[in-house]
A and B are shown apart, each in its own frame.
Chain A
Amino acid sequence: MIDYWPLLGIALVVLGFALRFNPLLVVAVAAIVTGLLGGMPFMKVLAALGHGFNQNRIVTMIYIVLPVIGVLERDGLQQQARTLISGMKRATVGRLLIVYMGFRQIFAALGLTTVAGQAQTVRPLVAPMALAAAEKEHGELDEETSERVKEMSAATDNVGLFFGEDIFLAVSSILLIQGALAAFGIQLTPFQLSVWAIPTAICAFLIHGARLLLLDRKLRRGR
């Protein structure tokens, strides 16, 4: 007999996100409801929540870069990123983001996942550069277009990261796959697993790259 009750927490999360309640509140309520329905007393749920939060502090660590980015922005970092791109005759949004995605995939495949990222590179450099490239092609951007360019900048960073990192042998997801398979008596080396990340990495580059070139075409047409 399957116990369906713990799934109610998932429904609460979906509902809460859809109704755009404060996500922190949604997550906390879902955690408590799920725990209680799973038969845990309240204090135990609270302890599990606190324990999980404390164990995962590393996730929030990346924001130590903000003071540096802030000081540089105060002195015109974003403006300079734009100036640099406006000087490049052949730079377009699509080409710029394709080159960025390629580097992001290669660096991630070398295990260097945190050298770039949404806070480290996308906000201060990639997004302003992409906007400048778009303005060069398209002229003044309307709000919808500039939102689109920013969204694609963030998306390109994610795609490059996700579909590069598994090529690296020692990344946690490869180790997790290895461990999960080993629990069933299937012994594989990280290398045997990580080579099979390569076909998907190539597909990701081609699919997202094609979309970026289409974005270029759309921008040119809109001029």
Chain B
Amino acid sequence: MITVHWLYIFAGAVFAGFAIGSARDLTNRKRWGNAAFWLLLTASFWFGDLLGDIGNGVLVLALVALAGMHLLGRSVGQSTTNEERQRSSERFGNKLFLPALIIPFTAFAGTLLFTYTPLKDSGLIEAKSVTLVLLGVGVIIALIACYAWLRPPPIAAVDEGGRLADSIGWALVLPQMLASLGAVFAAAGVGDTIGAIASDIIPHGSIFLAVLLYALGMVIFTMIMGNAFAAFPVMAAAIGIPILVHQDGGNPAVIGAVGMLSGFCGTLMTPMAANFNIVPAALLELKDQYGVIRAQVPTAIPLLIANILILYIAGFHL
């Protein structure tokens, strides 16, 4: 059976490719720093389960040291000029989209096949990782298609992958780092503290104020932790269930679902949700690393107000 561990092996190989691509990039003054960074990540994907917790912790510190001491750089210039790219886009036309679309299509069609047809019971792919495994398969098919149609130099995938990875740099592992920070926060009892504070300032007698506090608590705790998943169990235990459901008789389905979605409004507003808010700034080469967050706040706040109204009206008056 193909499990997520096969994907780790494949991803490790891709990161090893980034390391080679970075090391070959003579326009990057700090190319050895980048190569070391991607090699450490390769080691994590290939040998993470063998290193033990302390070993992984040391690996994390090494990644942090490389980034914190500014040993990562990025490539200046690009492999082909914009004029060459324009000419080649005229030559290949819309065919260029096909390999890019192969990846989502394989993931989409494959997920349907492995969910709704007898293939589901074939045991070929581990059920909970179907979409991700197929994403990996899609990447492999797309790479083959690129080489068959576009005939780039053999090393192009390594060089271009490394160049793109270098343009994202340390931000590429930030989401994973934040997830491990969440684990440490949980182990150190941060959630319990926040829950205790929230239940200390509960207003009594006003359903609307309690709803407001619940939604705002979800937003603030989500912004601190970077995702709503860590916030929900704490806020549900502090306010959602004892006050809104048990004391005030709210509809638990609404309190649960819309409470989580209020947290998602917080996700739109925090740099801690790095994969959504910080990585794109690097990917799109934005001048301001907080530019994406700035673009999202004016959507997040009205939507939070809408969520509070849905909580209040659908939760208590329908």
Contacts and interface: CB of A to CB of B under 8 A. Distances in A.
B64 A40 contact: no
Interface stretch (A88-96, A132-140, A170-178): A170-178
Contact of A4 (B79, B139, B193, B245): B193
A193 B252 CA distance: 9
Residue with the greatest number of chain A CB neighbours at <10 A, chosen from B64, B165, B258:
B64
Majority-rule SS of A interface residues: helix
B283 A193 contact: no
B83 to A, nearest CB: 10
B60 A49 contact: yes
Contacts of B58: 46, 50
Interface string B9-33: 0110011011000000000000000
Interface of B: 4, 7-8, 10-11, 14-15, 17-18, 41, 44-45, 48-49, 51-61, 63-64, 67-68, 70, 79-80, 82, 84-90, 92-94, 96-97, 99-100, 103-104, 107-108, 111, 131-132, 135-136, 139, 142-143, 146, 150, 152, 156-161, 163-165, 168, 170-185, 187-190, 193-194, 196-197, 200, 224, 228-229, 232-233, 236-237, 241, 245, 252-254, 256-261, 264, 267-268, 271-272, 274-281, 283-284, 286-289, 291-292, 294-296, 298-299, 302-303, 306-307, 310, 314
A13 to B, nearest CB: 7
A122 B241 CA distance: 39
Given A3-B193, A9-B188, A114-B135, A180 B256 contact: yes
8 contacts: A14-B224, A31-B180, A57-B176, A73-B160, A154-B281, A166-B257, A196-B253, A197-B257
B54 A154 contact: no
Contact of A207 (B63, B92, B163, B302): B302
Contacts of B64: 24-25, 27-28
A77 B132 contact: no
A24 B177 contact: yes
Contact of A166 (B56, B92, B261): B261
B67 A59 contact: no
Which 8 residue pairs spanning A and B have beta carbons closest together? Answer: A70-B160, A38-B188, A76-B89, A52-B180, A50-B56, A50-B57, A52-B183, A67-B161
Interface string A29-61: 011001101111001011111111111111111
A154 B267 contact: no
A213 interface: no
B276 A158 contact: yes
A80 B268 contact: no
Contacts of A46: 53-54, 57-58, 61
A159 to B, nearest CB: 6
A109 interface: no
Residue with the greatest number of chain A CB neighbours at <10 A, chosen from B99, B100, B200:
B100
Nearest to B146: A71
A86 interface: no
A121 B89 CA distance: 18
